[in-house]
Amino acid sequence: MAFEYIKALHIIFIVTWFAGLFYIVRLFIYQAEAWEKPEEERKILVPQLNLMANRLWYIITWPSAILTLVFGFWVLYYRWGYMQLGFMHAKLAFVFLLYLYHFYCQKIYRDLQNGPSKWSSTKLRIWNEVSTVLLFAIVFLIVLKSLISVVWGIVGLLTLSVLMMIGIKYYKKVREKNQN
C-alpha cells in the first residue's frame, strides 16, 4: 500500500515539474521580448516578468524537480528488478537529459534576471520544445517497457521534433506578417 502512495507522489511531482519547465521557458520568451520593447514598457514588463519567473522557478519548479528525484529513487527501490531491464536504462538516460535541460534553464534564468539574454525569442521557442520531446520519450518508455519500442519511439521523436520545428518557423512567419 505504501508503494502506491509513493508512486502517486512521484507522478504528482513529475506533473508539477513539467508544468514549471513548460511555463518557465514561456516566461523566458516574454522576458527576451520585453527587453526589445520601448523604455516605458520595458520598465514595467521586465521587473514583473522577473518576479513571476523567480516565484515559478524557486517555489514550484526546483522543489518539484527535487521531490521528483526523491520519490523516483524511492519508487525504484521498490522496483529494483527494473534496473536489469534495458528500457529502464534508456528511461533513466532521458531523465538525466531532462535534469541537464533543467540545469541549463537555470543558466538562462540567471542570464535573464541580470539583463538581456543572448537567446532570441525564436531560439527560446525551440528550446521550449526540448522538454516536450523528453516527456514523450520518458512516458513511452515507462508505459511500454520495451527496447524495441525505443527504436520506434526515436523515429517518432525525430518526426515530432521536425514537425515542431516546422510549426515554430510557420508561427514566426505568421507573427511577423501580423506585426507589419
Binning the chain into helix, strand and coil, the percentages to the nearest 5 are: 90, 0, 10
- Residues 150, 86: Cα–Cα separation, whole Å: 10
Q: What is the rounded CA–CA span in Å between residue 94 and residue 35?
A: 33
- Per-residue burial over 140-179, b if 16 or more Cβ lie within 10 Å, else e, is bbeeeebeebbeebeeebeebbeebeeebeeeeeeeeeee
Neighbours of 36 (CB within 10 A): 11
Residue 53's CB is within 10 A of a number of other CB atoms, namely 22
10 known member of a binding site: yes
Q: How far is CA 167 from CA 19, 27, 172, 173, in A?
A: 21, 20, 9, 10
Q: 91 a known binding residue?
A: yes
Which amino acids are annotated as binding site for heme, given as ranges? Answer: 10, 91
Which amino acids are annotated as binding site, given as ranges? Answer: 10, 91
